[in-house]
Amino acid sequence: MSPTAEAPFGLLAELTHRCPLQCGYCSNPIELVKRDAELSTEDWMRVFDQARALGALQIHMSGGEPLGRRDLPELVEHANSLGTYVNLVTSGVGLTRERLRDLAKRGVDHVQLSLQDATREGNDRIAGIKAFDRKIEAAAHIRDEGLPLTVNTVLHRQNLDNVAGLIAMAEEMGAERLELANTQYYGWALRNRAVLLPTKEQLARADAVVEAAQERLRGKIEIVYVIADYHEAHPKPCMYGWGARQLTVAPNGDVLPCPAATVITSLKIENVQNSSLHDIWYHSESFNAYRGFEWMSDPCRSCPRKEIDFGGCRCQAFQLTGDAANTDPVCSLSPNRQTVDLILDTEMRPAVEPAMAMRKISQ
């Protein structure tokens, strides 16, 4: 057993990679799990049983779009029967009043609704389909059912100047929580990095707007702001440490220490079809690879910030340096910081402004 591992707090259950949206910032893998390779209803119920036995208190049903699973009501009901807090993470497309009412009766405790921009034109352009009106309707259904609502927006160069409008939309939708998370450059998002990277000036303006809103809405709406760390001197505290609080199960049953861990091609990924969640969480090579601090070398090992940012993101380190054990290159102390500076210099000043490559996912 890993000496540094405590029981996970939550399970992110990626029920499917199928999705009606075509977002160019999607961080799911380039090679998505096909429908015929998804876990069955019985498999997912077994995963939920094992997660609860392991100590997980929350099950976040995500994707893709979890509404694409016909067995979603049964999965919600089973998760609820285990005493877990059930969170539905959705685009809102297909979330009718009747469907939400049924899911609420079966045990959905909370809904997290994505919003791509503050206006119909901007939202639908970024989402790749006409989805804005359906999101507004979904928010009204959630409010009518009395369920807590989190609005989630992935921020990037295309919508960051509208952050004040996004905050206003969350207020109008009746959200108790707003997540403003700058794009993570994995999967499809990495392909579009040159279109998505915000400028330092954009971020400075957004920081001020968010800070003012956090103060104004304190006690009414919790605003969580995930920084765009390419421009920062220190990396973000990714997942609060590797394999520390949460585990992810992909649609095919792969168990991941973080949702993007498949980008680390040198990592041996375990699957729930072959091992229990208990054994994977405590004993697997993948979950123990970067737990705690023993794996670190300098400058991380001797850095007082190692208990704040945990060396940064392992996936980002692998993508930018080829070694997941390296200090995250966004850190100003990293010997590879010039890699990030070069990206900022070249991709923020392209000779020709690239177009967004939309992600079209078959249903």
Binding residues for [4Fe-4S] cluster are 19, 23, 26
Place of tokens 């900022």: 344
CA gap 287, 282 in Å, rounded: 7
CA gap 27, 12 in Å, rounded: 15
Residues 6+ apart with CB under 8 A from 127: 21, 22, 23, 91, 116
Q: Can you read off the two tokens belonging to residue 299?
A: 């400058």
Q: Can you read off the two tokens belonging to residue 58?
A: 């929350």
3-state secondary structure 221-267: CEEEEECCHHHCCCCCCHHHCCCCCEEEECCCCEEECCCCHHHCCCC
Under 8 Å between Cβ of 237 and 219: no
Q: Summarize the annotated binding site as residue ranges.
A: 19, 23, 26
Residue 230's nearest CA partner among 354, 332, 117 is 332
